[in-house]
């Protein structure tokens, strides 16, 4: 799964620590097209890391790519291969394919695997035709996040104009410890409404999810339309928008 665009290039990362020989360098890195990497509880996720590499003799290839959390230097993501496209005599675009299976998460460490969510970094070793090489740390930073779900249920429906409508829902997020979704409590979630015939939603009110992730608020039914909940996400959990629940108002 993937969502929530974030700039993930070398330009936004701190200076890389590196060692090697010669003038070969990774001059730009983009993770998953510039999005957060989202992992749920069952479906394996593959994502690309695209590196622009430059050397005066031309680029031979990539020896190694790894990615892991900056705060704990851990993460069960495998590098499964790299393909390179020559752009000029000196420059190539190389794309590494990364793979993570949620089923491996509970066995990753003795600690809670949910702790690996957050900011991650990319390291790579690159080689040139003239035998120059470079081992680069933190050529990109990005967010590795837990998947989330969100539901909406508005009742009663249909409803008479001016009557009170109760809109409920539940915010849950993936646990990589037991591979199920659990209610995500204490989070600000915004109720949105789109009037029938309108092109966009507007914010109505914001409530906090209960300890079990449940949401509930009461509004006055003024027009027919669709209600939904919106969660902006956190540094470790994805942004999510619920499916809308349409309500007729008579």
Q: What is the pLDDT of residues 136-167, one digit of tens each?
A: 889 999 999 999 999 999 999 999 999 999 99
* pTM over the 0.85 mark: yes
Q: Is the pLDDT of residue 172 over 90?
A: yes
SS3 content of the chain, % helix, strand, coil (to 5): 5, 60, 35
Model confidence pLDDT, tens digit, residues 31-58: 999 999 999 999 999 999 999 999 999 9
pLDDT of residue 130: 97
pLDDT of residue 197: 96
Q: Is the pLDDT of residue 71 over 90?
A: no
3-state secondary structure of 160: coil
**Which residues, at least 6 apart from 186, have a Cβ–Cβ distance to it below 8 Å?**
208, 209, 211
């Amino acid at each position: 799964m993937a969502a929530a665009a974030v700039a993930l290039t070398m330009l936004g990362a701190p200076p890389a620590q590196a060692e090697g020989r010669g003038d070969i360098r990774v001059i730009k890195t983009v993770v998953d097209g510039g999005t957060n990497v989202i992992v749920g509880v069952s479906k394996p996720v593959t994502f690309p890391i695209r590196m622009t590499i430059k050397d005066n003799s031309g680029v031979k290839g990539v020896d190694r790519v790894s990615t892991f959390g900056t705060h704990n230097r851990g993460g069960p993501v495998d590098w499964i291969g790299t393909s390179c496209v020559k752009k000029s005599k000196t420059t190539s675009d190389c794309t590494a394919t990364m793979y993570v299976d949620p089923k491996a998460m509970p066995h990753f460490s003795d600690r809670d695997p949910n702790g690996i969510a957050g900011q991650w970094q990319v390291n790579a070793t690159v080689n040139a035709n003239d035998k120059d090489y470079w081992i680069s740390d933190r050529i990109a930073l990005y967010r590795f996040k837990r998947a989330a779900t969100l539901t909406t249920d508005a009742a009663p429906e249909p409803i008479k104009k001016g009557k009170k409508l109760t809109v409920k829902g539940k915010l849950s997020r993936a646990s990589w410890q037991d591979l199920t979704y659990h209610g995500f409590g204490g989070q600000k979630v915004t109720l949105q409404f789109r009037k029938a015939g309108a092109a966009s939603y507007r914010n109505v009110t914001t409530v906090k999810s209960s300890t079990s992730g449940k949401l509930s608020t009461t509004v006055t039914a003024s027009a027919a339309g669709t209600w939904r909940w919106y969660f902006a996400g956190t540094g470790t959990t994805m942004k999510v928008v619920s499916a809308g629940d349409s309500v007729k108002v008579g």
